[in-house]
Amino acid sequence: MINEKMRMLGAKRSVIRELFEYGKQRKAEIGYDNVYDFSLGNPSVPAPKEVNEGIKKLIESESSLALHGYTSAQGDASVREAIADYINKNYDAGVRADCIYMSVGAAAALTSTLTALVNEGEEVIVLSPYFPEYKVFIEKCGGVVREVRCDDRLMPDIPAIEKAINEKTAAIIVNSPNNPTGAIYPEGIIASLCDLLRRSSEKIGHPIYLISDEPYRELAYDGVKVPYLTKFYDNTIVCYSFSKSLSIPGERIGYALVSPSCEDFISVYQAICGAGRALGYVCAPSMLQKLIPLCLGVTSDISIYDRNRQILLEKLSEYGFDMVRPQGAFYLFIKSPSGDATEFCERAKKHEILIVASDDFGCPGYARLSYCVTTEQIERALPAFKALAESYKE
């Protein structure tokens, strides 16, 4: 018996994890500092002091039963109130506490939202390149992945999305700042996309939900603002995580937020609660929930990622690598000089540089470089990048 699909998912490591494991082994062989590992999107900047101070404060001030006991399934009411206030202060989005469902990280927010909105055989549009787990999550709830390539600037290709929409389209996932490209979609493109979604929903006779996956919202550089999508489109569900902004990815705390203007608000919110329940999410970790109001508006030191980005952009361009300037997250999406992603990554490996081939992101010909590493590692790696570039000129 056993569910064979699940076994396969457990047996097959992702390409990213595979490379990470190779890196661990290689570091043991030739020394930690001699391998330039840019494989994982794991924050390298410590959590801001408010995180550990907040936990200590909670332990000292709250009773054990209140702090470690069940919260309601949708999350502690005062925590959701604080998050709604923060969002309204920053984005003037008019959200309410009862729009928010506290989740065990963004992944749980995504699986609960997809399970709530997608029926067997319905389609979910993803913009390639995209985070590979989207495919796992969509297929788990019986949905069909409909990939639409971004344009050459790595922005949503509106005409291509229009062609992909049909009566079976249930939702589209948007991820800005983007993993793996670092792109931030500007207001103009978001507005065009939302216009299309409105027109198409009308045409096909049911709403197309816009699922905004936002773990990197705070990681934006060059003074760029990340548009708040509920203000552009009523049928929006935001899936947010505190993993990257607070450097606490292991703690699994985030939320799903249903736009208060969503046309079937109560049903959508109830379905997300029901899906969370059916997937086994009793409540999001209680102490971590209560930590959030003490950390809203705080981030770990993002300037370190920005410095890494600037060094890499300057030097890699100088060496002759081709890439679109990323404005957010902590990823650089580099064109393979040979046009072949795997060839590029294998050749990089010979220079002890670990970067991820783009094929698993649903898009050939690139490599993803995660620059959430120390600046020292980047500086140490520069001669290897130079040698890698030169190897293509021989």
Pick out residues in 258-287 that bind a second copy (CB under 8 A).
Answer: 264, 267-275, 277-287
Q: How far apart are CA 345 and CA 336, in angstroms?
A: 8
Which residue's CB is nearer to a second copy, number 62 or number 306? 62
Q: Give yes or no for residue 211 binding a second copy (CB under 8 A).
A: no
Which residue's CB is nearer to a second copy, number 299 or number 336? 299
User: Residue 290 corresponds to which tokens in the numbers above?
Assistant: 């209560």
What is the smallest separation between the CB atom of 324 and a second copy, expressed in angstroms? 28
Q: Give yes or no for residue 376 binding a second copy (CB under 8 A).
A: no
Q: Give yes or no for residue 130 binding a second copy (CB under 8 A).
A: no
Interaction with a second copy in 170-189: which residues (CB under 8 A)?
Answer: 170
Q: Give yes or no for residue 115 binding a second copy (CB under 8 A).
A: yes
Going by C-beta distance under 8 Å and a sequence separation of 6 or more, which residues neighbour residue 74? Answer: 80, 98, 100, 101, 102, 273
Q: Give the number of residues in contact with a second copy, rule: CB under 8 A.
A: 81
Q: Which of 180, 271, 195 has its CA nearest to residue 232?
A: 195
Tell me which of 39, 79, 111, 185 binds a second copy, using CB under 8 A. Answer: 111
Instruction: Kindly indicate which of the ranges 79-87, 154-162, 250-258, 361-369 contains the residues binding a second copy, using the contact rule CB under 8 A.
Output: 250-258
From the centroid of its chain, how far is CA 99? 21
Interaction with a second copy in 28-47: which residues (CB under 8 A)?
Answer: 42-44, 46-47
Which residue's CB is nearer to a second copy, number 43 or number 182? 43
What is the smallest separation between the CB atom of 142 and a second copy, expressed in angstroms? 9
Binding mask 143-172 for a second copy (x = CB under 8 A): ---------------------------x--
Which residue's CB is nearer to a second copy, number 205 or number 223? 205
Interaction with a second copy in 289-348: which residues (CB under 8 A)?
Answer: 289
Cβ 105 vs Cβ 99: under 8 Å: no
Which residue's CB is nearer to a second copy, number 373 or number 378? 373
Which residue's CB is nearer to a second copy, number 116 or number 174? 116
